[in-house]
Amino acid sequence: MFKVLTVNVNGIRATKKNGGFEWLESAGVDVMCLQEVRATHEQLHEAIAGSEFAKWHVSHSPASELGRSGVAVLSREQPSAVRVGFNSEEFDHQGRWIEVDLDSPVGPLTVVSVYVPTGDADKPLKQAEKYRFLDAMDARLAALATRASRTKRQVIVTGDFNVGHTELDIKNWKGNLKKAGFLEDERAHFDTWFARDRWVDVHRRFAGEVAGPYTWWSWRGQAFDNDAGWRIDYLIATKALAAQCREVVVGRAPSYDTRWSDHAPVIATFGH
């Protein structure tokens, strides 16, 4: 079995302070994809020092603006290659996309950690940036899928996509139809990925056509207690890899006061 975890940590140093490492160590995964690391290389290594992850291989793309964004892939095995970004002057310094090549128990594998911009429907420039990122992501996903179809190297793309794909992915979808994260043009990108039968939303495949399971809840109000959440953390896999997925679970905290991020980890297990 081979386990991949993705989680928006809301700051790796805050995760350590709030007890998140204990949970992550207990998960028993082989690869851990992080978003919103919000740290320099040195700060990330200082945060994991003394934990199990200090012995792992760390691939990290920090944002040039301190305290923002940042993505990482931590793996038990050493990657054979690491690539950052899309060859984009606009996005490659923002710490939003990193991919690593691994020789895994399920075969040659590329693992991606992505943090899609949040966007803002009331701020056209900010929302336009999100669409440009999704356009760049479209192109990279197409290239990765094409490579997977021609070789034995499969791909899993994980992370905080900051979009709920369908009405099942947001508790209050009617109240968010005109808000970033559930705009028709954002969701259309997901339709394109999955309609071509090249990518599979492995979490939705295992959950079925049910509400959620949600992965993000606002810190405000009673959102967590009422499970008024969003499913915006995804693991999407190329078709051959998706066929090897055995389970997908959300590590939802048992109570509001035991949360160490406003996101919950999502873990997928693969095996022949």
Question: Hey, what domains does the chain have and what are their CATH numbers?
Answer: 2-270 (3.60.10.10)
Angle between helices 184-195 and 124-150 (to 10 degrees): 0
pLDDT tens per residue across span 158-200: 999 999 999 999 999 999 999 999 999 999 999 999 988 899 9
HSE-up (13 A, CA, CB side) for residue 40: 4
Beta bridge partners of 250: 266
Taking a C-beta distance cutoff of 8 angstroms, is the pair 71, 100 a contact?
Answer: no
Confidence of residue 152 (pLDDT cuts 50, 70, 90): confident
HSE-up (13 A, CA, CB side) for residue 243: 7
Angle at 21 (CA atoms; ends 35, 102), nearest 5 degrees:
55
Strand order in the sheet with 71-75: 57-61, 71-75, 31-35, 2-8, 266-270, 245-250
Give the tokens for residue 68. 């923002």
pLDDT tens per residue across span 124-150: 999 999 999 999 999 999 999 999 999
Give the tokens for residue 98. 């990193």
Quickly tell me which residue has 């805050």 as its tokens: 14
